[in-house]
């Protein structure tokens, strides 16, 4: 995908930052105040609704203030934090805590439900327009940095990004292709500082709405970019609505079948009809003392019980099988890449064999879809102990919500190697769309009917 705003190297003037003419600064200030005031007026009903939702769902103020860096006052050898001026940046509160200056966007468990949606559509940032009217910020410029970031060792050449007012949006927000490093962001901001003009500001403002829709799901910096796949807000919203509607309808329509299966399981062997297990969910970014890090979330998956009621023994045997699978010890037969599963697993009950062959044991996962733990389509959710055996590149498959079905189910039906599974999941990540999701759901039916690989 091409960037929303092309700014090629030959257009960049590699020169020292020059002071802009006073008339240009005044004109930009006039535009900032005018546009910010108009947008605040237009969005006031939406802001009022958001404020009401915040107050009704959690205790605390609607607005919170965060200390941010305004601009560099002087150059020198002293610590940067001593040479900058700061200001209080306003945001809508998105967490249960009043002080959310160190909350990681879209990934922290302290986020409220309302706050998570506000962040997804950047509505929590609208009060920054108040800072624009006050003169703390501009509509366009480098994003304001929290003051605690200055405690890190920032290279002197990157200090130039602080030579202009911070902005609500900027060149970095509309040109980045992926999750970037702080160095990449600083270099892009410096290009803006060197080349800023009213025309460039106008182009950035025009493409900013599209950049919000296509922005990366992880908003903070990590040492190395982890995935080149962008998140599409519209796709995610439609996908979630589709999941909720189809899963809810499925639970209602299939309720007689679900009840019948539960009764058969109880009659066939002692133990509960439902089986739960902790599975690895979508990978998220969390803050820690060592800095931002990517961690895997967990959730409890629901399935019909297909084994005899000895979960500790079953898990131990399955963990051993997974390790053998990862190590390639199960690859045999006509193809070295085809995994041979046991024809008759002694742990599986009589009714369990039928449920597994028809994938009916997976139907309770519709509950997980309604809850938001899973999607109808996505990488298959795996036990936590399987993730512990992953190589570094395998973790990229966890950058999407796990699904009931996916490329793995319709192409290999559980017969492939770990590397093949990851490759198919990454292929899905790069090509995912509502149309491809519907196609996978449609193709799952014949894959289940054939039943190849389901044991």
* pLDDT digits 0-9 by tens, 185-240: 888 888 888 888 888 888 888 888 776 665 544 333 333 334 444 567 788 889 99
Of 295 and 445, the one with more pLDDT: 445
Of 343 and 65, the one with more pLDDT: 65
Q: Is residue 84 part of a domain?
A: yes
Question: What was the pLDDT predicted at 375?
Answer: 93
Mean predicted confidence (pLDDT) in 386-399: 80
Q: How many residues does the chain have?
A: 455
Shared domain check, 256 and 210: no
Mean predicted confidence (pLDDT) in 37-60: 89
Task: Report the alpha-carbon distance of residue 172 to residue 272 in Å, rounded.
Answer: 54
Question: 13-27, 70-84, 109-123: which range is least confident on average?
Answer: 13-27
Question: What was the pLDDT predicted at 219?
Answer: 38
The last residue of one of the domains, among 214, 246, 278, is 214
Residues 6+ apart with CB under 8 A from 44: none
pLDDT-derived band at 332, boundaries 50, 70, 90: low
Q: Is residue 228 part of a domain?
A: no
pLDDT-derived band at 248, boundaries 50, 70, 90: very high
pLDDT-derived band at 368, boundaries 50, 70, 90: very high
Question: What was the pLDDT predicted at 12?
Answer: 37
Of 240 and 285, the one with more pLDDT: 240
On the question of pLDDT at 14 being above 60, the answer is: no
Cα–Cα distances in angstroms (integers) from residue 370 to residues 56, 88, 151, 198, 364, in the given order: 23, 39, 43, 47, 11
Question: What was the pLDDT predicted at 107?
Answer: 53
* Stretch (H or E) spanning 355: helix 350-358
Shared domain check, 288 and 243: yes
Shared domain check, 61 and 149: yes
Question: What was the pLDDT predicted at 229?
Answer: 47
Shared domain check, 245 and 180: no
Q: Is residue 158 part of a domain?
A: yes
The last residue of one of the domains, among 156, 186, 214, is 214
Closest by CA to 221, choosing from 125, 293, 162, is: 293
> pTM for the complete prediction?
0.54
pLDDT-derived band at 113, boundaries 50, 70, 90: confident
Q: Is residue 312 part of a domain?
A: yes
Mean predicted confidence (pLDDT) in 132-141: 92
pLDDT-derived band at 283, boundaries 50, 70, 90: confident
On the question of pLDDT at 447 being above 80, the answer is: no
Task: Report the alpha-carbon distance of residue 368 to residue 276 in Å, rounded.
Answer: 11
Question: What was the pLDDT predicted at 220?
Answer: 35
Q: Is residue 290 part of a domain?
A: yes
On the question of pLDDT at 453 being above 60, the answer is: no
Identify which of 113-117, 211-215, 256-260 has the greatest average pLDDT: 256-260
pLDDT-derived band at 49, boundaries 50, 70, 90: very high
On the question of pLDDT at 10 being above 50, the answer is: no
On the question of pLDDT at 402 being above 60, the answer is: yes
**3-class SS of residue 378:** coil
Shared domain check, 272 and 188: no
Q: Is residue 219 part of a domain?
A: no
On the question of pLDDT at 325 being above 60, the answer is: yes
On the question of pLDDT at 308 being above 60, the answer is: yes
The last residue of one of the domains, among 214, 244, 274, is 214
Question: What was the pLDDT predicted at 339?
Answer: 52
Mean predicted confidence (pLDDT) in 114-123: 80
Mean predicted confidence (pLDDT) in 277-296: 65
Shared domain check, 204 and 311: no
Shared domain check, 153 and 250: no
Shared domain check, 249 and 178: no
Q: Is residue 186 part of a domain?
A: yes
Residues 6+ apart with CB under 8 A from 215: 173, 230, 231, 233
Domain count, the chain: 2
Shared domain check, 165 and 302: no
Rg (CA), the chain: 26
Question: 51-65, 249-263, 368-382, 409-423: which range is least confident on average?
Answer: 409-423
Question: What was the pLDDT predicted at 18?
Answer: 43
Shared domain check, 265 and 209: no
Mean predicted confidence (pLDDT) in 36-64: 89
Question: 76-85, 229-238, 402-411: which range is least confident on average?
Answer: 229-238
Assign 3-state DSSP to the chain and report helix, strand, coil percentages, each to 5.
Answer: 50, 15, 35
Shared domain check, 253 and 173: no
Measured CA angle at 200 (ends 194, 202), to 5 deg? 150
What range defines the domain where residue 176 resides?
Answer: 9-214
Question: What was the pLDDT predicted at 261?
Answer: 92
Q: Is residue 224 part of a domain?
A: no
Identify which of 112-116, 230-234, 286-290, 332-336 has the greatest average pLDDT: 112-116
pLDDT-derived band at 245, boundaries 50, 70, 90: very high
Over pLDDT 90: what percentage of the chain?
20
Question: What was the pLDDT predicted at 374?
Answer: 93
Shared domain check, 280 and 197: no
Average pLDDT taken over every residue of the chain: 77
């Amino acid at each position: 995908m091409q960037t929303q705003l092309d700014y090629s190297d030959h257009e960049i003037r590699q020169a020292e930052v020059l002071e802009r003419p006073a008339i240009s600064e005044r004109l930009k200030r006039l535009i900032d105040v005018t546009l910010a005031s108009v947008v605040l007026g237009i969005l006031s009903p939406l802001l009022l609704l958001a404020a009401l939702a915040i107050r009704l769902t959690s205790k605390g103020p609607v607005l919170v203030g965060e200390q941010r860096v305004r601009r560099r006052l002087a150059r020198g050898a002293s610590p940067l934090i001593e040479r900058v001026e700061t200001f209080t940046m306003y945001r809508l509160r998105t967490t249960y805590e009043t002080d959310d200056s160190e909350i990681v966007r879209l990934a922290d468990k302290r986020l409220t439900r309302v706050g998570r949606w506000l962040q997804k559509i950047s509505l929590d940032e609208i009060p920054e327009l108040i800072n624009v009217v006050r003169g703390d910020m501009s509509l366009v410029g480098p994003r304001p940095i929290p003051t605690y970031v200055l405690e890190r060792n920032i290279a002197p050449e990157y200090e130039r990004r602080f030579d202009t007012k911070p902005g609500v949006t900027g060149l970095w927000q509309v040109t980045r292709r992926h999750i970037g490093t702080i160095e990449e962001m600083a270099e892009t901001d410096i290009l803006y500082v060197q080349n800023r003009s009213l025309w460039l500001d106008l182009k950035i403002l025009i493409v900013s709405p599209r950049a919000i829709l296509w922005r990366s799901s992880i908003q903070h910096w990590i040492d190395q970019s982890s995935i080149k796949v962008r998140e599409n807000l519209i796709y995610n919203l439609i996908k979630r609505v589709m999941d909720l509607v189809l899963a809810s309808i499925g639970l209602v329509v299939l309720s007689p079948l679900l009840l019948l299966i539960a009764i058969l399981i109880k009659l066939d062997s002692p133990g509960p009809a439902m089986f739960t297990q902790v599975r690895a969910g979508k990978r998220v970014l969390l803050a820690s003392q060592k800095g931002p890090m990517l961690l895997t979330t967990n959730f409890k998956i629901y399935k019909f019980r297909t084994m005899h009621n000895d979960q500790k023994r079953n898990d131990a045997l399955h963990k051993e099988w997974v390790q053998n699978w990862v190590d390639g010890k199960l690859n045999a037969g006509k193809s070295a890449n085809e995994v041979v599963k046991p024809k008759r697993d002694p742990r599986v009950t009589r009714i369990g064999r039928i449920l597994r062959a028809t994938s009916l044991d997976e139907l309770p996962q519709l509950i997980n879809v309604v809850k938001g733990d899973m999607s109808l389509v996505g990488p298959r959710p795996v036990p936590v102990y399987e993730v512990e055996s992953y190589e570094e590149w395998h973790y990229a498959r966890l950058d999407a919500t796990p699904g009931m079905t996916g490329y793995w189910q319709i192409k290999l039906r559980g017969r492939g190697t770990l590397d093949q599974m990851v490759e198919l999941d990454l292929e899905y990540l790069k090509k995912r769309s509502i149309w491809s999701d519907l196609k996978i759901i449609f193709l799952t039916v014949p894959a289940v009917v054939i039943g190849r690989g389901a044991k």
